[in-house]
Structure 1
Amino acid sequence: MTRPVTLPDMSTSQRRLILAVASAVGLLALTACTAGPGGSAAPTSTTVPSDQRLENAHPEPPEGRVIGVGTVLDDAGDVALCMGAIMESYPPQCSGVALDDWTWDGVDGSETSGDATWGAYAVYATYDGERLTRTDPPIMLALYDTVAPEDPTGGVEGSTAEDELTRVQDDISARLGTDALTVGTDRGYVWLHVVWDDGTLQDAVDAEYGDDVVVVTSALREID
């Protein structure tokens, strides 16, 4: 079985890898909340058409190149960019976005164990909504100058009650599953981190839960 990464019982190289990913991504700290026995699901709007509900909302892919930071995991030729949680094992395990046209030629900073090779990088690519295609040489995260994302709330604290935030978080987690890279509560909001959103998912959560309850952020950033 696997369990969430805990740095103290990892090798030095693994700790450096995970710390590099965490530093580059710069995700907001999220408070994980789980509904206890008998917890009720968050109420959603019954006026939202079924094809516009969160789990059925499909953002339009970006038109140009994007950049994403995380762990590139090559498992016997199946390559993925993992921008969410990394499970502790050797080699590591993660659920990522398929990455085409990847090569390790001339790329430093990788480790290999058996059929698996991995490393932490900033990856330039195009994204079609399902797969990434590498367009430029990657940059090791240790050498990548991360740009801090703009705070979508403008620094304003949310006003939704904590128990309601917990119900909304649990509802989103149950409905999106692994499509949610992370989901948690912080500063009076539910923060939903996904691979990509052009505003479609934000509109969907606003329609279902109300404005200023859920904040959607994207792991991929447009650069063209």
Structure 2
Amino acid sequence: MTRPAAALLAVLLLAACAPQGPTPGTAAAPSRADLVPDAHDGPLTTTGTVLEDAGHGPQLCVGAVATSYPPQCGGPDVLGFSFDDVPAGVYEAAVDSRWGSFALTGVVERVGDRDVVRLTAPPRPTTEPLDPPLVAEFSVDFTTPCPAPAGGWTGPDPARASDDALGSAGALAPGVPGYTLLWIDEQAPGHRVLNVSTAGDLAAMESAVRQVWGGALCVSPAQRSEADLARVREEVEASVAPLVLDVQLDAKAGRVTATALLARESDQQRLDERYGPGVVRLSSVLRVPST
């Protein structure tokens, strides 16, 4: 990663903290519900799990929440929140931890080297999830995109369609230029199609995989290679700043998803200009209150 790239991303994400807009108190309808318009400088809202334990005060969970008991998660501190001020029946408690789902309204403040949420209204217990969710969901369509051959999904050499051969293909394919993703489509018991997507040459990928795999095979085109997406993810992660809270690579969809404490529409526009539309999907934890 080059330093100019990291600097650019750090600037655009840190800029989200600064109030923007021509007139204080103005509000504008967002073009996307998970981004904040540049003209909005009032309080923002979010919904999620708030967790407090023996070693840390209340924090908003962002990303995956470990399903242990009590749960574990990470995210920005929530100032002005106290479990002592909400009814005991709306949260759970165990092993010096308290947690529950709340709708929060507040603003972003810098405390030391961290950005936190300071509440401007009392928290409201809720069981309603934020729509769209804090962290974008990954693609889950792992069907085979290739049309079925005339004779059905049978490979040229069934003797080389074993689990060992599959493991060899899984080790070989990522080394072929342009590789994006590998998955298995279990169409019926004992009938599986090995899928490999690539942003490179389809014939070159098929030839390489056929060296070790004799079963059914579909090689399909992808917009971006795993290596390209990994580079973008590393650049976004390097600019954590710390406004960016969660960065993930979705090779199936060909994009990187980034969740920031406060992300404005202009931040997404700058990412689109740098990487191309749709390569990085930026979402804001804090959003404009619905009317």
Q: Which category of TM-score, normalised to the shorter sequence, fits these structures?
A: 0.5 to 0.7
Asked whether the equivalents of residues 6 and 235 of structure 2 are also in contact (C-alpha less than 8 Å), the reply is no
Q: Which residue of 2 aligns with 1:167?
A: 230
- TM-score normalized with structure 1 length: 0.60
Q: Distance in 2 between matches of 1:208 and 1:125?
A: 31
Which one-letter code corresponds to 2:276 in the other structure?
A: G
Q: How does 1:72-151 map to 2 (within 5 A)?
A: 72-76=50-54, 78-104=57-83, 105-107=85-87, 108-128=89-109, 130-142=115-127, 144=128, 146-148=130-132
Q: How does 1:15-94 map to 2 (within 5 A)?
A: 48=4, 51-52=7-8, 54-57=9-12, 58-61=14-17, 63-76=41-54, 78-94=57-73
Unaligned runs of 5+ in 2: 20-40, 134-221
Equivalent position amino acid for 1:106 in 2: V
Report which structure shows greater RCO (CA 8 Å, sep ≥6).
1
- Cα RMSD (Å) of the superposition? 3.2
Counterpart residue number, 2:32 = none
Q: Are 2:80 and 2:119, in contact at CA under 8 Å, matched by a contact in 1?
A: yes
Distance 2:230 2:276 in 1: 14
Aligned-residue identity in percent: 25
Whole-Å separation in 2 of the counterparts to 1:72 and 1:164:
36
**Where do 5+ consecutive residues of structure 1 fail to align?**
1-42, 150-158
Larger radius of gyration: 2
TM-score by length of 2: 0.48
3-state SS of paired residue (1:94): coil
CA distance in 2, matches of 1:133, 1:222: 15
Please state whether the residue corresponding to 1:93 is helix, strand or coil: coil
Per-residue deviation at 1:99?
0.8
The counterpart of 1:184, out of the listed 242, 249, 256, is 249
* Other-structure match for 2:165: none
Distance 1:86 1:145 in 2: 14
Q: Sort the Cα spacing of 1:122 and 1:87 in 2 relative to 1 into closer, same or farther, 3 A.
A: same
